[in-house]
Structure 1
Amino acid sequence: MRWDGNRESDNVEDRRGDGGGGGGGGFSFGGGSLSIGGVVIALIASFIFGINPLTLLSGMSGGGQVQQQQTPAHETPADDREAKFMRTVLGDTEDTWAGLFKAQGETYQPPKLVLFTGRVQTGCGAGQSATGPFYCPADRKVYIDLDFYRLMQQRFHVSGEFAQAYVIAHEVGHHVQNLMGLSDQVHRAQQQASEKEGNALSVKLELQADCYAGVWAFHANQARQILEQGDVETALSAATAIGDDALQRQSQGQVVPDSFTHGSSAQRVRWFKRGLETGEVAQCDTFQARQL
């Protein structure tokens, strides 16, 4: 992926080493606790997990905000290439979505990206590395522990900078959904739906964010020629690895489609490719699609 020399975003908070602590212990979900070993599959399932972890973390149902402790951001070291890459990818999403919003007569309000280690306080409650990358609509921030990328490579042999950029672009896609009011609409509908129906709505929300990630890649490549040979394949490999069906086979040996919350491998690949090939936001309407 070509990115050196491109604009870096200022909307990054580097909280790594802020005393949140890392490793050890377990992560509590609604009173229960999972060991670090027990959350490995949950972490990978959270690859591009978007908004759903917030429900696990804080039990949010109506967009309420948990009291957040303010933690000072640190300056990113000049030689920190990983953080520089994150800043550049975020800046690229800002430029892309600002242009798309402007074309519709609207102003894009970018999210902040928070880099953390171990644990972090968010507007949606306490988060931890085991959650994987996620977006919090209450504070409009994307959270990621960069160690996630190393685990992604070790467990699924998925690597490459464009695959990493895809993760960020998907989470920014959830931010776009939040700005458009789509997230609130889905969450309200889920409150009145059965578990099966609620899961189906979640799948549509996640696949749309995949498509939005593809839309970003289309426009970024047109404007700045970011794609190199093999980049798209790495992103598609990532989408395949974290499909609900692939994860369920690995974790429980069987596939239960009614429990899907993010979509199958084939669906995730299909919707990312749709955004990448068309570059049109209107092509990402998973809620009106006859077939996912």
Structure 2
Amino acid sequence: MERITEKPSRYRHLEKMNVRELLENMNREDQEVPAAVARAIPQIEALVNAVVPKMQRGGRLFYIGAGTSGRLGVLDASECPPTFGVSEDLVIGLIAGGDRAIRHAIEAAEDSLTQAWVDLQAYEIDEDDAVIGIAASGTTPYVISGLQACRARGIVTGCVTCNPETPLAANADFPIEVVVGPEFVTGSTRLKAGTAQKLVLNMISTSIMIRLGRVLDNKMVDMKLSNVKLVDRGAKMLVQNLSLPYDEARDLLLKHGSVRKAMEAFSLEHNLSPGL
């Protein structure tokens, strides 16, 4: 396989560049990322279409990865409950080396050929669930072995990688290959590859949640009211859609705990059709 993520940077002698040159050159490289993601949309679509029915029937989505890739999976999973009001065990991010690896490098954790399946088994994973392996290189043993174990047990698998024709893609039912080219700093896949992976994970989780009915119109009606800003946002949704005074809308929101529940309660009380 061709390890494009390991190819030399197109730029030489970075240490001789001034700050403006560094920023402009990194930005120039970053502009290639959205185009690479766009080319992968058919692959992303296929994966989402495979995962949605699983989750509609009560299945869960798992991300597995190591290093930067693992952290991005944990990040995306952790943002689903507050954004969409789902339970914390619906989208689960696992990183090689465990939660400590989110902040600290765990030596050789990504090289294990058995630990990913051990980590997944802790959640009693089965064929109702789906697993997405994330690895910029497409060669991370922790991730590949995890997908192999899942496929052997009939669990749907996908992957996100930034190299073509990788062992990871070969072991995924629905591979996503976002080839962004060499990094500005040679081999530093926290840059373009990491950005590409973040964009793809955003697309996967957001489109899944929309298909699961967790968004009405373009609003996060199930978001958790975890701070003043979000309470204010929710109250303003109710003001706009129910024609209520702000204070009354805020009280209704806090009473019922979410925009959706507040709208349903108001509509029931006033014999209206709920919706935005």
**TM over 0.5: same fold?**
no
TM-score, scaled to structure 2: 0.27
Query: Which protein is bigger by CA-based radius of gyration?
Result: 2
